[in-house]
Structure 1
């Protein structure tokens, strides 16, 4: 029941923010402001509903060190996607055609902030955390990662391979970042940095969605495994490998910190 209540409250907050962002017609400054407002509203809603349904402190969104954790995540996300683009460019699949749009980059930053916070709160804060309590860390990562990937099938130009790639590279990596830290700030920053780098900096398609133009006007070409095809670089082999490698690093850190939880044993009643 608490799962449903938390999803409803967080989903309602996200919907209000999304409607507000959509109503401004792509105005860069307003989109950025409303993207930040959406993030704040979703975080407030999550804290409120968790306190009411679980009667505990919301440690996964505690304030001390939040800014630095988000900052580290953003830097890591941008660096990771830059490495993916570098590999694609090395094999001739990425070419910069010129400068894009600074205002478009600001618009994409607003979208990215709202989306990163909302998706991490829903998938890692609510779904993964509650599933993990019953099924353990590994099964929780697999199930919520697959669900996260399948959600992207509703995007324009979505493909089954693209959704599976998202499940592996993002569902696994972001979930592992949460397990390693037991806080949502690092995965929020990582998600934000990765998404903004895709469209806002390198001017590529994000998860099948051809959004506003970012700082660079670029062309991604080649096979699906090289450049990701119509789904964008997230469906490339380089992105999948990068996501898997970072997932392994985070999970090793989680093991050292004792953060990996076993599956809860079934309760049996003696006859």
Structure 2
């Protein structure tokens, strides 16, 4: 995190520019209101999964001491852009995990996966945004972030761009992480197995909050997360198909990673005493 006065000035002066960009871009990112039942089906949780609104275009997941809940896309996709507006569990959310992720058939044992995981916290403390990429069953590619806003107050758009060149994680159109195809260096890339889009809300107080030190307060249950305005774009003529970062995108990515990244596996020498994973050596951003 930047500690110098110049760094603080950059941190705060750049944020208003991002807000202005979002106003212009979000209208083209999320393609209106769709009935969730058109594209998704419940995976677990029974009545804890609820669609509502006059067009069924809002959905909520709830967690109580008996069960969490979740849903998944009815279709599998090989490449695409996936957007979801979410409002996370408010108040004391310690021990809860809200997810948005793509996953291939896990029964293969060599599944592919692209993860957003939002780790709850005690009231007034920030969420941790945990990201990971699994290729052919191999994960351990974690990067974690704090957000520059309170994700429980309003809806924000969380997006995954996945093509043959890269995987990009975006928050309100701001790239926070890019995983580039480094197959030529022997790193498996996710391009053979189709995946479904999943979301879930579940309890993980054995590890989620401060390494499991803070437990879930079930007196606050049910815990609820909210969803709306999903978009799944698989058309190959879409801009995402050849998506790469331009100068503005690279600047935003560096801004997020400088001020809001709190863990990067590519800089964890204790974890990799024999040397960092291959893709870390070719990281270009």
Same-fold call, TM cutoff 0.5: no
Query: Relative to total residues, which structure has the larger strand share, 1 or 2?
Result: 2
TM range (shorter): under 0.3
Give TM-score scaled by structure 2 length.
0.26
Give TM-score scaled by structure 1 length.
0.27
